[in-house]
Structure 1
Amino acid sequence: MFLMICQYLFGELSTRFVAMLFLLIFGICLGMAMLSWKSDWKTQAILYRNKKNNRQTIEYRMRTNRFGPGFEKQLIRRTKILPFLESVHFEDTISVDSATWNRVNEKVNEMGFPGEYIDLPSK
């Protein structure tokens, strides 16, 4: 298909030229993907659990920076809909209603930090 499109756009071209053009475009796309890729978000702690819906939590998550030291951090409200499907929204813990949420501080440590250290956010 790619060969047919190139022949239509550029006229009769050698197969070698088209193959090199394809490899160049593929290499550029792969390089851009590698430079823009970031690691997956990992849950470090479950801060709050909903009193009525046990599948809804407020979590502290982190991920590593690809080309720099340190981590990106976020607080999210996660609702598990199915085992493979979840709803995620950003959350501000300052406005957490204590009538709806229990503070649990469950340490999950999906990033595998050694010992008991997990950088929990302050309230």
Structure 2
Amino acid sequence: MKKTIIYIIFLITSALILLNRYTELYINNSLVHFIIFYASSLSLVFIIGRFWGKLKTPKSIFFTIFFVGLLCFINAFLTWGGDWKTQNILYQNINAPRKTIEFQMRGDRFSFGYKKRIVNRTKLFPAFDWITDIDTAAINTKEWKKNEIYVNEMKFHSQNTVD
């Protein structure tokens, strides 16, 4: 039973990591992203350890959990570029209120300045979004309602406008 649970955890978390990386699925919470990455890595190590016949004592399991967590934290710290934060909600879909067109910014960790983007965001679950690029010049006004809601998730002191 334990083997089956570890395999299921590995398959689900690895699929989420791959979908986040190679499709428009976006995990918008860095803590949730780290937990999924950690669960995927740890379950892979447990699968390999079971295959080789290692990880039999509680001490070896504890050190494995700690070491994999430390490696995942170092990897996340060195490769994480920052979360995209919504500054303005520009449009909201009239028929589906979970769909919005947003101006988002991201402050990069090891460089100066911010990256900017305008995206079509569909909220799937509390930490998961479906993000696609959109051209705001070609918006159908019958489908989208202009909002211009200033959200300021970056917590700037002054109100910024979209370029």
Normalising to structure 1: TM-score of the pair? 0.67
- Pair 1:38 & 2:76 matched: no
Please show how residues 65-76 of structure 1 align to structure 2 within 5 Å. 65-76=108-119
- The alpha-carbon distance between structure 1 residues 103 and 69, as it changes in their structure 2 partners (threshold 3 A), is same
> Which residue number in structure 1 is paired with residue 17 of structure 2?
none
Gaps of 5+ in 1: 5-22
Matches of 1:30 and 1:80, distance apart in 2: 27
Label 1:86 to 1:37 Cα distance change in 2 as closer, same or farther (>3 A).
Answer: closer
- 1:88 Cα offset (Å): 1.3
Aligned residues: 102
One-letter identity of the residue aligned with 1:67: F
Q: How far 1:35 moved relative to its partner?
A: 3.2
- Runs of 4+ displaced beyond 6 Å: 27-30
**Whose Rg is larger?**
1
1:97 matched to 2:158? The reply is no
Give the structure-2-normalised TM-score.
0.52
- Looking at secondary structure, tell me which structure has more helix per residue: 2
Structure in which a larger fraction of residues adopt strand: 1
Q: What amino acid sits opposite 1:35 in the alignment?
A: L
